[in-house]
Amino acid sequence: MKEVFSKINFPVAPDGNIYHWSGVDTSFDVTDNGKYVIQIVASAKNAKQNRSTDDDDLRLVLDGYEFGKYEIHEEQTSWKGFGTASSWDGATLMGGTKTIYFFCELQSGEHHIKFYADCTPSLQEIQVFRMEEGEVFQLKDLRPPKNIKIDRKGVPWISFVFLGVKPEKFSISSVCKSAKQKGGTDGDNLKVIVNGKILHNKKSPTSKKYQNFYFSGDLNNGQSESLNIDSENFEFLEDSVDIWYDEEPNVSVNLSLFDGLTSWLNSNILEKRKLDFYKFMLERLVNGFSLAGYKYSSYFLKHSLSDNMEKLVFGNDSSLASAIKADEAYAKILTIVKDQIKQNILTGQVYFGDESKGLNVNFESSDLQFSLHGIKKVEYEAVQKEQNLYDVKFKLFDVYDFDAKSYEVSPVWVGVHMADVLEAIAILKNFEIEINIKDIINTHET
């Protein structure tokens, strides 16, 4: 992999209760569209180490996307994005260091990482790497940087988080020595957690001591063991693999990514799992539009996912009608209808979409762009009030047809482009939109 950015020497956290740690916010540029790995190293202390009732926590937001927001972790208390594979939790780290690898697809240009903290975590390093097509990501013969003693549960060590990209192959191999081989009372152990769920030890799945460690030195006696995680386990917009250690296990990781989401969808995963992934992804997008203040983008996409495909009708007093009137594109609609009225065509309809004839309407407002995309047709009825003045009633029509090319919002754009596939399998449903508007047109004005 080629390093494209690195940063160290971050300031000390200012302390506080769940705050935006703006002093470590980081921006970086990439020159090419493609797959990237963002490696972040940080540590966090527990409440006892802080001589407090509160532990350190740290999480991040990439280009507006909040990692870990929907993960339920079996080994930690997931809360507001903390206590997940994509965050640093002092209660479990106990002063230890954890490295997280974020895999995502980025567009060329500037990208921004924001950090949110609780108490005083420590941020140590950020590196960004470009992954070439078909390149294999490898970690070889790693050992924990610090052997923190703990019974049974283990300590978080390495996480792999995938946003909108899918691992085609993911293998973990580990050598764990037994307590006898180490000349002590505790053998090496390694825990593996996929999307918040612990993978149980196959040799002793019911043992209280070993069941939560997929690799156990007392059971493997220093022999190398491997785990291959099937691609169908990566079923969400954001997927994760979390590795925890006990004592000093040796671990190696090899993984490769599908060329794109279409390749993953065409692999041998179950059809139901595909459908669940589609719906999960789009529901997250609905929430994202809502949080961004895109009222109608969120509302129309949510309606398209429902079983009720009724036509949506909006009146002149609606906020949608007001938004259209305030948009620069509305002036073009008025001009076209005015030309009709000047020809004494007081009732009629105009079909939009023919750019060569100037009959296309492109809204300036982002929310209108994402929700309406354009206007298909306008029906109007004009009644003369006095010379050159007309009361006009408009009916604007559009058909909601999710246009994936309009939604390039990094980094979630990777998932959004899948909407073309979704329409083909009828998860997204098209529906008609009618907006009724009243206005006055002065045919004498230029």
The whole-number average pLDDT for the span 76-102 is 87
Q: pTM higher than 0.75, yes or no?
A: no
Residue 389 CA to residue 445 CA, distance in Å, equals: 10
The whole-number average pLDDT for the span 91-119 is 95
Two tokens, residue 372: 């309406």
Domain locations along the chain: 2-269, 273-442
Q: Provide the residue type at 129 as one letter.
A: F
pLDDT at 352: 79
Residue 379 CA to residue 330 CA, distance in Å, equals: 14
From residue 427, give the alpha-carbon distance in Å to each of 263, 276, 280, 304, 332: 19, 10, 11, 8, 34
Is the per-residue pLDDT at 288 higher than 90?
Answer: no
Question: Which phi-psi region, left, alpha or beta, contains residue 237 (left: φ > 0; alpha: ψ -120 to 50)?
Answer: alpha
Is the per-residue pLDDT at 422 higher than 70?
Answer: no
**Structure confidence by residue, pLDDT tens digits, 1-50:** 999 999 999 999 999 999 999 999 999 999 999 999 999 999 999 999 99
Cα-based angle 352, 357, 360 (whole degrees, multiple of 5): 35
**Structure confidence by residue, pLDDT tens digits, 113-150:** 999 999 999 999 999 999 998 899 999 999 998 888 87
pLDDT at 411: 42
Residue 371 CA to residue 378 CA, distance in Å, equals: 17
Nearest CA among 361, 444, 410 for reference residue 34:
410
Two tokens, residue 198: 């612990």
Q: How confident is the model at residue 244 (pLDDT cuts 50, 70, 90)?
A: very high
Tell me which of 192-206, 222-236, 368-382, 410-424 is least confident: 410-424
Task: Say which residues have a Cβ less than 8 Å from residue 98's Cβ, sequence separation at least 6.
Answer: 41, 42, 43, 44, 88, 156, 157, 158, 159
Is the per-residue pLDDT at 417 higher than 60?
Answer: no
